[in-house]
Amino acid sequence: MPRVNYRDSDVALMARMMRAEAEGEGKQGMLYVGNVIVNRLKANCLDFKNLRSVPQVIYQVQGGNYSFEAVQKGNVFYQRARSVEKRLAKKNLDYWREHPGKYALWYFNPSAPCPPTWYDQPASGQYKNHCYYEPKPGTCASVYNG
């Protein structure tokens, strides 16, 4: 049973996002970005309430901007998904979760070392250029379930 329900179009959209956000960090880096996408879909808490589909997560607007920089700026996001990224996205949607993205709801690429917190949320770790952050304990239990 997959972690979330999805369609083929969701796999392709998520694959495009994973590539645009983390292609330079290889397959592992793209999988961590995929973790964040699925976690936001499962969370239903904090900034991620009432997100019910992959497109709602990808195209979410917060503070007048898209949540993901790749959607905002375009870059690789608007290219077609390749089969390798589709396989990775499907892996995330079906079962794959691993530290530091396992429970993360946020990530970013700082120009300095990862801060211990980001918007008051604790760091869960770093992979190459991206820092990952999970919700404070007790604020979003649904992220830690399945």
For 7-66, what is each residue's pLDDT tens digit?
999 999 999 999 999 999 999 999 999 999 999 999 999 999 999 999 999 999 998 999
Answer whether residue 104 is part of any domain.
yes
For residue 45, count CB atoms less than 10 angstroms from its CB and return exposed for 0-12, middle for 13-18, buried for 19 or more: middle
- Which residues, 6 or more positions from 116, have their beta carbon under 8 angstroms from its beta carbon? 122, 123
Expressed as residue numbers, the domain containing 24 is: 8-143
Query: Does residue 146 have a pLDDT over 80?
Result: no
Answer whether residue 2 is part of any domain.
no
Q: Are 38 and 4 in contact (CB under 8 A)?
A: yes
CATH number of the domain enclosing 34: 1.10.10.2520
Report the number of distinct structural domains present in the chain: 1
What's the rounded Cα separation, in Å, for the pair 31 and 22? 9
Residue 65 C-alpha from the chain's centroid: 16
Answer whether residue 94 is part of any domain.
yes
* More confident of the two residues 106 and 74: 106
pTM of the predicted model as reported, rounded to 2 decimal places: 0.96
Answer whether residue 1 is part of any domain.
no
Answer whether residue 71 is part of any domain.
yes
Answer whether residue 102 is part of any domain.
yes
